Structures are given as structure tokens and as C-alpha cells.
Amino acid sequence: MTDHVSTHQAEEDARNAALLFHLNGRIVPRAEAVVSIYDSGFMLGDGVWEGVRLYNGRWTFLDEHMERLFEAAKAIDLEIGLTPDQVKQAIFDLQAANGMQTDAHARLMVTRGVKTRPFQHPALSQQGPTVAIIMEHSRPRIPRPITLATVPHLRGLPMTQDPKLNSHSKLNCILACIAAQKAGADEALMLDVHGFVNTTNACNFFIVKKGEVWTSTGDYCMNGITRRKVIELCRANGIPVFERNFSLVDTYSADEAFLTGTFGAQTPVGVIDGRQIGTGQMGPMTERLRGLYKQLVGA
């Protein structure tokens, strides 16, 4: 469990303790990187976010992350108050202030800002958005195969809270994570509303069966940029890849399984619901895709 947590979180080392942060146009030390208890993000989870990764001087797929951020903001009628280029410049400025060149992760958060009263109506947020960026050193490592447990918490319908939104309101996924931890697993495997395998609480999910790579249809899953890149890599390299509905029966008999995400790239899965997947180790397809992805991002 500890190894998995360290793989999915920036390392808590001396360099991170002394880092600077971006808050509403200012670069500040950790002690000053604070928001009001009236902030919409703190009070109601009213906001959107992105995570981006730095490899060898380049923020990977940054334009695509900006596109996803601004699409999410528009969907919840949140005016960021900055252009995509201005947001990118804020990331570059913070990178320079922290002296980072590679192996870093940034979390960009935008909320509806400080409210005048502790109620949910958006009109009570009158001071403009809160924009914050956390940036931490994080060295990639070869991840060990992790364990998953299927939980009763489902990926929701688009008309309730669209799973494609990177929103601050993550309680459904947090409850799924808690259920998985209580079952002794690293992460939760979540089904969609029809009972098909969908994602984990934090990452997109893939299986490998007889040389084919399968992932969910995308109807109920996170709009993962790394997920999209893996699908594109498969197609570009002659690997059969399918976005389809599949069940737990299909999953238990898979030759391999892995997760995708900005932070962890591709993480192998060794056990699901007590059942060993393949050899229980990183499989050849997962290893191949990790290699192709490293070439793509210049890692």
C-alpha cells in the first residue's frame, strides 16, 4: 500500500517543503498559499482542475490540458478570467521560480471564488475566481502491480454530474477509494450504471486479452488525456484497441490490466477482487505501451 501511495503522490522531500505556489496572480511561499473558508471550492467543491506533468523541460500535452480545463469551466459557467495562454504563462513563471526542469507535477485549480454567504447559489460569488497552482517535484519510477477491489459506488450519469468533468466535487470517487481501502486494495474499480467495468476512482482502466487492448466506451469515464494517447499509440503501432462495454467476467480472465493517468502514466494491475490477473506482474503489452509512451513524451 505504501509503495502505491508514493507512486501516485509527489514525493515529500526537502525540495517540496521549500517550494513556491501560484495564488491569484502572485507567487507565494506555502504559508501564504491559503484561501478563505468562504471560497466556493472549499465550501462546496465548486470548481475545476487539471494536472500536468513536466518531462525534460516540457509540460506534456499542455494545450490539450488547457482545452479540457476551459471546456470544463464553460460547462459549469465559470469565467476563469484568464486566457489559455495566460494560464500557461502562470505555469511557466512558477516553474522558473521553483527552478524546475524535469520530473515535476502541477495541479491547477480554479474555483468560483469567495462567496458573500455560505450558500450554493453562484450569484453569491462576486469577487471573481480563485486560481491556484501547486507544483511539486516527483521522480517517475517503475510502479509495482497494484490491487483493485470492485466497489458499489458507480460512475454517474451525465445528467447528474458528468464524469468527464475534472471537478472539485470528488466525494463519489473518495467514497469508492475508502471502500477499496477497507477491502485491503490500493484503488477502487468502479462500474458504470449498466454494470460494465469503467474506471478506478482516480484513473482510466484497460485490460489486455489475446493481444487486444480494451477500455470502456468513454460514455461514463473520465476524459483522460493519457487514455486518449494510449489509444492513439495502439492505433499507430498496429495494436488492436477497442472502446467497448465489458464485464467483470471479461476482466477476471484478462491477460493483463493497467491504469492510465497524467501522474502515473501506465500502472500495471496484478490482482482484482482477489483474482490474479495474468502472471500478477507487469505484462508485455503494458511494458510495450509504457515504452511507446515514454518515447512520445520524451521521458
Claim to verify: residue 56 and residue 115 sit in the same structural domain:
yes
Claim to verify: residue 266 and residue 133 sit in the same structural domain:
no
Determine the straight-line distance between the first and last CA of the chain, rounded to whole angstroms: 26
249 within domain boundaries: yes
What torsion do the CA atoms of 126, 120, 42, 105 make, to the nearest 10 degrees?
A: -80
Claim to verify: residue 49 and residue 170 sit in the same structural domain:
no
Cβ proximity of 61 and 55 under 8 Å: no
CATH number of the domain enclosing 239: 3.20.10.10
5 within domain boundaries: no
Distance CA(255)–CA(277), nearest Å, equals 6
Claim to verify: residue 51 and residue 28 sit in the same structural domain:
yes
165 within domain boundaries: yes
CATH number of the domain enclosing 107: 3.30.470.10
Claim to verify: residue 109 and residue 206 sit in the same structural domain:
no
Distance CA(181)–CA(128), nearest Å, equals 38
Selected catalytic residue, list 74, 88, 115, 170? 170
Runs of H (alpha helix) within 12-106:
14-17, 40-44, 62-75, 84-98
Claim to verify: residue 257 and residue 157 sit in the same structural domain:
yes
- In total, how many domains does the chain have? 2
Cα–Cα nearest to 174, from 161, 158, 190, 159 = 190
Cell of residue 187, nine digits: 484503488
Claim to verify: residue 275 and residue 231 sit in the same structural domain:
yes
Claim to verify: residue 200 and residue 58 sit in the same structural domain:
no
4 within domain boundaries: no
Cell of residue 202, nine digits: 482516480
Its pTM stands at: 0.89
2 within domain boundaries: no
Cell of residue 79, nine digits: 469565467
Stretch (H or E) spanning 257: strand 256-261
**Residue finishing a domain among 137, 172, 194:** 137
**Residue finishing a domain among 137, 164, 179:** 137
CA atoms within a 13 Å half-sphere pointing along the CA-CB vector of 10: 21
| pLDDT by 10s per residue, the chain, length 299 | 344 454 444 445 677 888 999 999 999 999 999 999 999 999 999 999 999 999 999 999 999 999 999 999 999 999 999 999 999 999 999 999 999 999 999 999 999 999 999 998 988 998 899 999 999 998 877 778 999 999 999 988 888 888 888 899 999 999 999 999 999 999 999 999 999 999 999 999 999 999 999 999 999 988 899 999 999 999 999 999 999 999 999 999 999 999 999 888 899 999 999 999 999 999 999 999 999 999 998 86
170 is catalytic: yes
Distance CA(15)–CA(253), nearest Å, equals 43
Claim to verify: residue 155 and residue 250 sit in the same structural domain:
yes
205 within domain boundaries: yes
Lookup result for grid cell 475545476: 48
Lookup result for grid cell 517550494: 19
What torsion do the CA atoms of 145, 287, 108, 231 make, to the nearest 10 degrees?
A: -120
**Can you give the residue range of the structural domain that contains 42?**
10-137
**Residue finishing a domain among 110, 137, 164:** 137
**Amino acid found at 202:** A
Distance CA(15)–CA(84), nearest Å, equals 29
70 within domain boundaries: yes
Claim to verify: residue 55 and residue 152 sit in the same structural domain:
no
CA 63, 64, 69, 73 torsion-angle sign: positive
Distance CA(220)–CA(8), nearest Å, equals 23
201 within domain boundaries: yes
Claim to verify: residue 22 and residue 47 sit in the same structural domain:
yes
Claim to verify: residue 117 and residue 164 sit in the same structural domain:
no
